[in-house]
Chain A
Amino acid sequence: DVKVTQSSRYLVKRTGEKVFLECVQDMDHENMFWYRQDPGLGLRLIYFSYDVKMKEKGDIPEGYSVSREKKERFSLILESASTNQTSMYLCAITPGGSYNEQFFGPGTRLTVL
């Protein structure tokens, strides 16, 4: 079974704080993605990565950065959190091979006060 875990289910931070959201997969999959989900807007792609130390901007990268030092871990970083970054953050992987779909983690609901 493909398993994707995220470091926190709920997180509350203050404006201006640096925030790290971690995503870990349990197998040697290459493609990893970070989305944010907001009501009425669906899922919007922030960043994705096809391999270690590789990253590509998605549709809404502003205010975010990512890090992928090891294949199994893909981190989303909010350099200076703002209230408009309050959202649900979802990590996903695309295993490839016989799998064509994305597998999602449980999500992190971030509130920035």
Chain B
Amino acid sequence: AQSVTQLDSQVPVFEEAPVELRCNYSSSVSVYLFWYVQYPNQGLQLLLKYLSGSTLVKGINGFEAEFNKSQTSFHLRKPSVHISDTAEYFCAVSDLAGNQFYFGTGTSLTVIP
């Protein structure tokens, strides 16, 4: 089985500052990795995903994440945040068949003007 740990439950950051949201996972098999964003009272939208290949993955809205196999991490970064980035962010893993997904407990990002 897999599991996901998001190390920070809340991250406040000033507008135009950089941000990193941390995610670690554990698995005995190869996995796919995902970051989702959830705006208030909405479902989850995919930000980016790592399947294979380059360990640096770029997603929508200027976000990127780096897969580090030795540290079993998949941290999400953005060099300059905007007010509109205020949302809940979830890290997730799945097996390669995509039959089971495991989600972290979420990180609430608040961008301060």
Write the residues of chain A forming the contact surface with B, with a CB cutoff of 8 angstroms.
4, 9, 31, 33, 35, 40-43, 45, 50, 90, 92, 94, 96, 100-107, 109
Inter-chain contact A94/B98, CB cutoff 8 Å: yes
Inter-chain contact B43/A104, CB cutoff 8 Å: yes
Inter-chain contact B43/A40, CB cutoff 8 Å: no
Whether a CB of chain A sits under 8 angstroms from the CB of B14 is no
| Main secondary structure on A side of the interface with B | strand
- The residue on B at minimum CB distance from A9 is B41
> For the complex, what is the distance from the CA of A31 to the CA of B49, rounded to whole Å?
19
Q: Which 4 A-B pairs have the closest CB atoms?
A: A104-B43, A42-B105, A43-B103, A104-B44
Cβ proximity bits B81-113 to A, threshold 8 Å, 1 near / 0 not:
000000000101010001101011110000000
> For the complex, what is the distance from the CA of A103 to the CA of B44, rounded to whole Å?
8
Interface size class of B (residues with CB under 8 A): 20 to 34
| Main secondary structure on B side of the interface with A | strand
Which among B46, B99, B104, B105 is the interface contact of A101 at CB below 8 angstroms? B46
Inter-chain contact A100/B51, CB cutoff 8 Å: yes
27 CB contacts below 8 A, A to B, read A9-B41, A31-B98, A33-B101, A40-B9, A41-B105, A42-B106, A43-B90, A45-B101, A90-B43, A92-B44, A92-B101, A94-B98, A94-B99, A94-B101, A96-B98, A100-B51, A100-B94, A102-B44, A102-B101, A104-B43, A104-B44, A105-B43, A106-B42, A106-B43, A107-B41, A107-B42, A107-B43
Given contacts A31-B98, A100-B98, whether A42 and B46 have CB atoms under 8 Å apart is no
